[in-house]
Structure 1
Amino acid sequence: MKKIVGLFFIVLVICLVAYAFQAVDAKNDQRVMAFGDSLTYGKGDKEGEGYIDDLKHKTNDSDSEKVQFWNYGIRGQETDGVIKQLEDLEINTKLDKADTFIVYIGINDLINSNGGNLKKINDQKINDEKKEYVQHLDKILSELLKKNNKADILVIGLYNPNKDDLKLENHISDYNHSIQKMVDKDSRLKYIPTNDLFENKDKKAYFSDEIHPNEEGYQLITNRILDKYDFK
């Protein structure tokens, strides 16, 4: 009986030690929460979840997952949708657990302000509704800064999928300028541009449709993020 009790005690100690090491390892893990639209969701990437999936593979080796990515991207989402996500109890209570946030949102705000497509650019409508976009994005970033006092927040800039459309290019640049101004307000906010990535690129080689990148297009975004930010 004493031998059985002794054996049980040894097994218990081993389990507790293993759990302790596991807990230490868990503390060293990096947790990344990503919010956005179909670009964060990964639409157009037949192999995975777009740039988030690429980041996961490139920041982890085959034996361990030191950088965990929680992808909250939703297809068709605008900035008001992200605000609702942050108010959701299940997500809100996790915000202080993140080490890094990614916010990539705005193209749907712009498209819908233009009537739901990018075929004929209406300068007045886009300019009028951009004010609401700026207010929403400011609220998103303020909420993340308030709920988490340590995490960096990567704010991804927008790109023009139709480089020949100079009117659209001007609006994309204007949106990105507003994003940069907000990012400059706090040292934990990091702006990552993407509009230059598709300059002089064959659209058929990097896009799956009129707006969304394919695997190669998402790779460009992934590499830009990794060039600008070290997750480890």
Structure 2
Amino acid sequence: MQTIVAPSVKPLGQVNSHPLKLVALGDSIVYGYGDPEGGGWVERLRRRWMLPDSPGHVLYNLGVRGDCVKQVQERLEQEFRHRGELRNRVPDAIALSVGVNDSARLARITGRNFTDFEVFQAEMAALLEKAQHLCPVLFVGMVPVDEEKMPFFDCLYFNHADQYRYKEATRLACVARQIPYLDIFDLWLDRGKDWWRSRLTPDGLHPNVLGYQALLQDVLNWEPMQQFS
């Protein structure tokens, strides 16, 4: 993993001789909405790390439903500073997953985006730089929505074209900062419409139980995450 960090921050390879402390920040996909069985991919990973033969890493779920990049940025450092235990006063790494709410169209299919694209780019850059200053960062991308199920809550229109635009801006921002980015959007679409649609809840926006199981497996198969096993 090649991650640019502040001079006082140790790369993960230098701190994993003992169980690590990680935080996952983001929106409802981090929170785990839609998975009544396992609580989402973050909760499923947390439970996995609690097994007797696991490395024993600690994982804090700091997902908030409906959050956009601005909200995650505003609460990032305070929540980071208050998550740590034992030998570590603060976490060793941050996993971010946010951005889909910013891409939504308001009121109608042709309405304005919830967050203007140029504003989104600036806010994402600020979020990544703030997070990277604290510790190594990983970014898990958004899942594709089912456009045929829109609008969400009768007012939010999500679509693949906007999702692609916003996730590409995020991916490129991560690449520029050498932050590992897991492109779930492209990965799921490549598996075919029947596959990814069967892994979404009836609202067309959130993964279901199968979706979170698949998401967890994608995260576990991701090379940057495998350093934690």
Which residue is 1:51 aligned to? 41
Alpha-carbon distance in 1 for matches of 2:215, 2:60 = 18
Of the structure 1 ranges 221-230 and 153-162, higher mean CA displacement relative to structure 2 is found in: 153-162
Q: CA deviation at 1:162?
A: 1.6
Matching residue's letter, 2:124? L
Residues 1:74 and 2:69 are matched in the alignment: no
The counterpart of 1:225, out of the listed 205, 219, 229, is 219
Which structure has more helix as a fraction of its residues?
1
Percent of paired sites with the same residue: 21
The runs of 5 or more residues in structure 1 that have no matched partner are 1-25
Change (3 A) 1:160 1:64: closer
Q: Does 1:174 align with 2:165?
A: yes
* 8 Å contact kept, 2:43–2:61: no
What corresponds to 1:106 in structure 2? 99
Which residue number in structure 2 is paired with residue 122 of structure 1? 110
Letter in 1 for 2:206: H
Q: 1:62 to 1:87 in 2, by over 3 A?
A: closer
Structure 1 residue 92 corresponds to structure 2 residue 85: no
The 5 Å alignment of 1:136-215 reads: 136-148=123-135, 151=136, 153-162=137-146, 168-187=159-178, 189-195=179-185, 196-197=187-188, 199-201=192-194, 205-210=198-203, 211-215=205-209
Equivalent residue, structure 2, for 1:29: 19
Query: Which runs of 5 or more structure 2 residues have no equivalent in the other structure?
Result: 1-15, 151-157
Q: Which amino acid aligns with 1:69?
A: L
Decide whether the 8 Å contact of 2:99 with 2:167 is kept in 1. no
Take 2:130 and 2:50, find their aligned partners in 1: how far apart are those partners? 29
Confirm or deny: 8 A CA contact 2:102 2:115 kept in the other structure.
Answer: no
AA at the equivalent of 1:217: G
Superimposed CA distance per residue, residues 48-78 of structure 1 (whole angstroms, 9 cap, x where no aligned partner): 3200012223445336661211111011111
Q: Secondary structure at the match of 1:126?
A: coil
Report the aligned-residue RMSD.
Answer: 2.8
Matches of 1:204 and 1:158, distance apart in 2: 14
Q: Deviations over 1:15-51 (max 9, x none)?
A: xxxxxxxxxxx96012111000111001111023200
Q: Which runs of 4+ in 1 moved over 4 A?
A: 93-96
- Aligned-residue offset at 1:122: 2.1
State how many pairs are aligned.
195
CA deviation map 1:72-111 (0-9, x unaligned): 10111111111221243x5335487322211110111112
